[in-house]
């Protein structure tokens, strides 16, 4: 197992690292800053090698910033930093490995990032947000992702929104949304990214509160 360190675009042009990627069975992107990670890799030989590895069926995964960088768009900011200052929200290009118009947020429940994802999706209603808890993964094969680990994955779909004031939020107004679709995927369940729905629901196995018996104990 080899862990090449890429601190900037110069490192991302190292032919030795490209060779390692070409011979590897899997690639793991670590944490840090997703913006810096994408800036360092995009349009470089190492970035291209990662893409080729993925296209040929190789495994690419990441944690924290490494996970957030995998999608078409990446999200950062819109939360308070260590000095107590609100960092401006950033939404920009990702590495584009995971499509289906998804956007990933990490450390989700632990850092209470649901509101941040709401704001992001309000601004980009065609995008689906995936909030992944710590010690949790979504393993994607084709268009289906399976959740494993200790936590869960929250999905936020903005296509059903009937009203939002996303453009006013930057002017100090509180976010207002109507008919936003939100769900949770527990460990062991599979989720269809293309359909944006649980596989159990698509196959007719959906269980609702109305279909379950109610037990009242006095």
Question: Could you read off the pLDDT of 179-209 as tens digits, one per residue?
Answer: 999 999 999 999 999 999 999 999 886 555 5
Least confident of 69-73, 77-81, 132-136, 207-211: 207-211
53 is catalytic: no
Which pLDDT score, from 0 to 100, does residue 1 have? 78
Q: Which residue has the tokens 């939002």?
A: 164
Question: Could you read off the pLDDT of 93-120 as tens digits, one per residue?
Answer: 999 999 999 999 999 999 999 999 999 9
Which pLDDT score, from 0 to 100, does residue 216 have? 46
- Alpha carbons 120 and 73: distance in angstroms, whole number: 11
Model confidence at 84, in pLDDT bands (50, 70, 90)? confident
**Burial profile 29-55: b = 16 or more Cβ within 10 angstroms, e = fewer:** beeeebbebbbbbbebebbebbbebbe
Per the residue annotation, which of 82, 83, 88, 205 is the catalytic one? 82
Task: Point out which residues pair with 103 in neighbouring strands.
Answer: 129
Which pLDDT score, from 0 to 100, does residue 218 have? 44
Threshold 0.85, pTM exceeds: yes
- Alpha carbons 153 and 44: distance in angstroms, whole number: 32
Greatest Cα pair distance, the chain, in angstroms, is: 71
Per the residue annotation, which of 39, 107, 109, 199 is the catalytic one? 107
The stretch 124-145 carries a mean pLDDT of 96
Model confidence at 124, in pLDDT bands (50, 70, 90)? very high
7 is catalytic: no
Question: Could you read off the pLDDT of 20-75 as tens digits, one per residue?
Answer: 999 999 999 999 999 999 999 999 999 999 999 999 999 999 999 999 999 999 99
Ordered by where they begin, the domains of the chain are: 1-97 (3.40.50.880), 100-203 (3.40.50.880)
Catalogue the E-assigned strands of 77-143.
Answer: 79-80, 86-87, 90-93, 102-105, 128-132, 136-141
Which pLDDT score, from 0 to 100, does residue 131 have? 98
107 is catalytic: yes
Which pLDDT score, from 0 to 100, does residue 171 have? 64
């Amino acid at each position: 197992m080899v862990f090449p360190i890429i601190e900037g675009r110069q490192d991302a042009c190292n032919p030795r690292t490209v060779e390692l990627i070409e011979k590897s069975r899997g690639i793991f992107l670590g944490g840090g800053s997703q913006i810096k990670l994408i800036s360092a890799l995009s349009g470089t030989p190492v970035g291209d090698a990662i893409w080729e590895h993925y296209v040929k069926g190789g495994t690419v995964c990441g944690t924290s910033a490494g996970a957030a960088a995998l999608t078409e768009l990446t999200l950062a900011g819109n939360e308070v930093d260590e000095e107590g200052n609100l960092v401006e929200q950033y939404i920009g290009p990702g590495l584009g490995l995971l499509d289906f118009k998804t956007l990933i947020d990490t450390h989700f429940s632990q850092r209470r990032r649901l509101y941040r994802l709401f704001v992001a999706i309000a601004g980009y209603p065609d995008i689906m947000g995936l909030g992944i808890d710590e010690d949790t993964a979504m393993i994607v094969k084709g268009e289906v992702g399976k959740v494993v680990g200790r936590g869960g994955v929250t999905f936020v779909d903005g296509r059903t929104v009937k009203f939002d004031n996303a453009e006013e939020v930057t002017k100090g107004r509180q976010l207002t949304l109507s008919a936003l679709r939100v769900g949770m995927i527990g460990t062991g369940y599979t989720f269809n990214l293309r359909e944006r729905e649980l596989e159990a629901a698509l196959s007719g196995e959906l269980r609702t509160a109305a279909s379950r018996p109610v037990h009242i104990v006095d």
